[in-house]
Amino acid sequence: MDFIFTLVIIILATKIAGHISVKFGQPAVLGKLIIGIVLGPALLGWVQSDELLTTFANIGVLLLMFIAGLETDLEQMKKTWKSALAVAIGGIILPFIGGYSVGMAFGFSSNHSLFFATLFCATSVSISVQVLKELDQLNSREGATILGAAVIDDVLVVILLAFMMSFTGGDEGSSIGMLVLNKAIFFVVIVLASIFIVPRLMKWLGKLKVTEPVISLAIVICFGFAYFAEYMHMAGIIGAFAAGIAVGQTPFRKTIEHKIEPIAYTLFVPVFFVSIGLDVSFEGISEQIGFLIIITIMAIVTKLTGCWLGARLTGFKSKPALVIGAGMVSRGEVALIIAATGLSSQLLHPEYFTSIVIMVIVTTIVTPPLLKLMFMRNAKESV
């Protein structure tokens, strides 16, 4: 029953924190992220991370990305694919240079600096998705570009990580060619399944005489795509997002969206938001405060500038390009996974791990207000 009581705390606290955040003119997700730090080991210690909580959080982020896929305008994404590619590339090149420079400046070896640079390139769009939903901008030109760029970024960063692991000796058995082939197979299978299998499954199995067959099948497709993505060494959230797009092209989209959102936002998504703050620990951080400040500023500035430049080169005006850059700043769970990989392969110094985790959390927390601010400035210019 301890876990049940933990859920009581999380659900109640996130709703109150989200309400307070809105009262101060900020997106609700900002309050939900901050309350995770307050409830976690860094401050009150009321909520501790464990396997069950992590599972609930994983389900939460998968459902969040599935809903984003459901609500995505596929035609708008097709129109913005060139911008998305340029934004993703810009959001990798500049952070890579910045991360490598910081690593070398602080006395890292070349191999450790290369890995540190790779960590800087990560982007997690799950938080931006929630902000875009709150602002009703998910299907705007900027929103579609952010979503497309995040998918491309994930693919490129995974390939870059594998290359760096091979180059630096962190993973002698990895094959870049095989990794690229896995990505190609993943996208081919997902596209074919979305066109030929998902619509037929929804139509046939949706007629089963059982409770909520359509919703059940939608969740099966979401989790199935996510599992396949992980199996092919992709982030599960990419699979869930693709599943949402696939299901969103069927006549059941509105029904599924209407019924899945209450499940997701009542129980699983709040756990995901809180779980992000549970990794924060301030123990010993005073000795690395300078390092922490520098890497955090560098992470925000290089990603924002790189993505802004990519958007500008493909036709966006300056302020809409800043919106896109702001939406790509969050490093989220993707960077945490990379950091853990570096720690286990001895490509990341253990004494810097806490600072990196806090940097990831800060980039995630600043994204909602930054994204809202940029949208507001863009709206004023458009009037």
Instruction: Give the chain's radius of gyration (CA, Å).
Output: 20
Distance of CA 32 to the CA centre of its chain: 16
- CATH of residue 317: 1.20.1530.20
Q: pLDDT digits over 316-325, tens only?
A: 999 999 999 9
* The dihedral formed by the CA atoms of 280, 263, 19 and 24, expressed in degrees to the nearest 10: 70
| Token pair listed for 15 | 């709703």
Please provide residue 252's backbone torsions phi and psi, each rounded to the nearest 5 degrees. Answer: -90, 5
Give the pLDDT band of residue 380 (cuts 50, 70, 90): low
Across residues 26-52, what is the average pLDDT? 86
Q: What mean pLDDT do residues 126-141 have?
A: 82
Q: How far is the C-alpha of 210 from the C-alpha of 328, rounded, in Å?
A: 42
Where do runs of H (alpha helix) occur along the chain?
2-23, 28-39, 51-70, 74-79, 81-105, 110-120, 126-134, 141-168, 176-192, 198-205, 213-231, 236-248, 253-263, 269-277, 289-313, 318-327, 332-344, 353-382
The residue behind tokens 């809105």 is 22
Nearest Cα residue to 58 out of 354, 366, 359, 336 = 336
State residue 174 phi and psi, 5-degree precision.
-80, 150
Structural domain boundaries enclosing 165? 2-382
Q: Is pLDDT of 329 > 50?
A: yes
How many domains in the chain?
1
Could you read off the pLDDT of 69-119 as tens digits, one per residue?
888 777 777 788 899 999 999 999 999 999 999 999 998 888 889 988 988
- The answer to whether the CB of 319 falls within 8 A of the CB of 377 is yes
* Closest listed residue to residue 60, CA positions, set 280, 269, 318: 269
pLDDT for the residue numbered 172: 47
- Per-residue pLDDT of 157-166, as tens digits, reads 877 876 776 6
Of 88, 4, 64, 8, the C-alpha closest to 272 is: 64
- Tell me the torsion sign for CA atoms 154, 156, 162, 168: negative
Tokens linked to 358: 């806090």
CB of 318 closer than 8 Å to CB of 374? no
Structure confidence at residue 232 (pLDDT): 83
